[in-house]
Amino acid sequence: MNHFEDAYEKYKQQGTQQAKNEQPTDHSGKEEIIAVRKNEDENIIAIKTSSGRVFDYPTALSDAKAGKLAHVDIFHKYGRDISRSEPYGIKENNLGQQPTTYASA
């Protein structure tokens, strides 16, 4: 690696460590998403929460909008609401990185 790449890699590593240190631990009773179910196109179609609930994507959007799910933001794009995790710079926190479950709802 050259000097610029080395500097950038060090910057990323420091950011990842800092993000882990800054990650909030108080979820104020909110459920966390612990697994997702995807269709053949890799779209998330259902989620499983830390309380064991399994429900469809539209219900997850409603719960996230109501503030019932931790670490999930909702934004409007492409004419519809879309969920997005708050990864805090940690790849494993991304919704798409959650374990995949195929349990029935």
DSSP string for 3-68: HHHHHHHHHHHHHHHHHHHH-----TT-B-EEEEEE-TT--EEEEEETTS-EEEHHHHHHHHHTT-
Residue 71 is part of which domain span? 30-105
- Which tokens hold the place of 14? 């420091």
- Which tokens hold the place of 57? 């994507």
Poorest-pLDDT segment among 13-22, 51-60, 91-100:
91-100
Residue 20: inside a domain: no
Number of domains in the chain: 1
Whether the predicted pLDDT of 48 surpasses 60: yes
Residue 49: inside a domain: yes
- Which tokens hold the place of 60? 């997850």
| Count of Cβ atoms closer than 10 Å to residue 41 Cβ | 6
Residue 44: inside a domain: yes
Residue 5: inside a domain: no
Residue 105: inside a domain: yes
Residue 17: inside a domain: no
Q: pLDDT per residue over 4-47, tens digit each?
A: 888 888 887 777 666 666 555 555 678 888 888 888 888 888 88
